[in-house]
Amino acid sequence: MILIVDFGSQTAHLIGRRLRQIGTTVEYVHPEDAIEEAKKLKPNGIILSGGPSSVYDKGAPTVSKEIFKLGVPILGICYGWQLMAKLLGGNIKNTTKEYGPEKVTIEKPLGILGKLPKKQFTVIVSHGDTVVTLPEGFRKTASTKTVAFTAVQNIEKHLYGVQFHPEAHHTEYGLTILQNFAAICKEIYKPISLDPEKIINDIAETAANQKVICAVSGGVDSTVAAFLIGKAIGKNLIPVYVESGLMRQGTDERVKEIFSKLVRADLVIIDARKRFLNKLKGITDSEQKRKIIGRLYVEIFQEIALQHPEAKFLGQGTIYSDVIESKGSKHASRIKSHHNVGGLPKDMHLKLLEPLRNFYKDEVREIGRLAGLPEEIVMQQPWPGPGNAINIMGEVTEKRLAQVKQADEIVVEEMKKADLYNKVFECFAVMTDAYSTAVKGDERFYGEVVAIRSIDTADLMTAEWSRIPHEILARMSSRIVNEVPEISRVVYDITTKPPATVRWE
């Protein structure tokens, strides 16, 4: 077993996911409990995760130096490496920041960097602090153009540090690096597979023949969750689709089709478009929007629950990226409150049933596929619960909602015409709340700027912007400024995650 000390990184859970992917058993522990748990569990190796803190912050999470005397290999990742360096006598400074993809050059192909196919490869980095002086006994094994000690090792004590994130999907050879560390730990691999039958059995045991009100949106997460819950409890499933007015065009029709042909349950549709617009009136802060939407969804589900007093559970398609971005672990930083996590009231009467809570998007797709859902369902583009409310910077009005829906439909249409829609993870339009001058009909026009966002990712924890051909972007731009009222220009977002998130809010 490998013990992961969780310092609150957005990708800390992803480390364990990657290790489980290669068949390694993992356990998580908070840093304040690390030494006690390590002595009790006797792991073959320890990984110190990244985290949002600086090692010099007051109250920054730390571990006892005794952990380095346990005689097991230890890998420090980002903050974990900085903390290792600090505790062992190195120096860290806030001098060189790196965010997003960077090129790493291997200088000594040793230890966890041994036997990689290339000496230079792309990694994902996200740090403000940097180790500038190595502790005694460490030697440099790799660097970037701005950071000297991107990878290091103390071969005698089997201590390793990397300033990048090998767990990130977009880090080349990241899985190989983790495999190399597992091999140094003398881990015995036990390959595992995603098993929908186990999830279904767990749901059946938890729900115990009680009715479940299940929030559905037509998206892959809620559809897979509802499908599994339906398999477990049959007619006790009450799927509820709330028409908030914030979804993509045609979502209601897709939901009706799913629950008439695939899940076969009596779908409840609630038209709440006016309620959502009224609640969002005058609200410009993105966190407020998300929480208002979350509370309103739950209010509606509780109203439905009054009509079904025998219902005890609220089923949701919450996945792990929702949880971790909403401050899902003790030392994590809140990136944004997902409506189904950060927006839930403390006095909610229904118990939550979230069968996909510990899985990433690509795992959810595979679970749905293995459970028998068709490919067009499991591979459809995701759409967030707050929908277009978080694709509109600033206030959500009926006018701006109509604008973003029209612009988004143009993006989707052009991607489908170019046979690109199913080749990217997600594409959509954004009302930026930025304004610029244009010339329309030989007259000055001052209107809002629309952004197009398209990304490629496996698990939503890291993402690359899609390389859409210029002629396709040109058609989108031309149509949007001509067909969508009061739009002055169109821009294309080419920011990776990190540092950006997928959505603008």
Give the catalytic positions in this structure: 78, 165, 167
Q: Residue 234: left if φ>0, alpha if ψ -120 to 50, beta else—which one?
A: left
Name residue 463's beta-bridge partners. 497
- Cβ neighbors of 423 (< 8 A, separation 6 or more) are none
Residue owning tokens 């006598």? 89
Q: Residue 267: left if φ>0, alpha if ψ -120 to 50, beta else—which one?
A: beta
Give how far Cα 128 sits from Cα of 11, 75, 89, 330, Å.
Answer: 17, 20, 20, 21
Q: Strand 130-133 vs strand 2-5: parallel, antiparallel, or unpaired?
A: unpaired
Cis previous bond, 61, omega within 30: no
Tokens representing 147 are 């950071």
Cis previous bond, 52, omega within 30: no
Query: Do 493 and 203 touch, CB atoms closer than 8 A?
Result: no
Cα separation of 390 and 470, whole Å? 26
The three-class DSSP label of residue 126 is strand
Residue owning tokens 């929702």? 322
Cα separation of 77 and 75, whole Å? 6
**Helical H runs in 326-386?**
361-371, 375-378
329 closest CA partner among 30, 20, 55, 2: 30
Cα separation of 210 and 206, whole Å? 9
Angle at 230 (CA atoms; ends 229, 236), nearest 5 degrees: 100
Cα separation of 48 and 71, whole Å? 15
Give how far Cα 262 sits from Cα of 199, 227, 445, Å.
Answer: 18, 8, 49
Angle at 240 (CA atoms; ends 357, 368), nearest 5 degrees: 45
Cα separation of 99 and 420, whole Å? 28
DSSP at 186: T
Q: Strand 74-77 vs strand 159-162: parallel, antiparallel, or unpaired?
A: parallel
The three-class DSSP label of residue 342 is coil
68 closest CA partner among 59, 56, 76: 76
The three-class DSSP label of residue 207 is helix
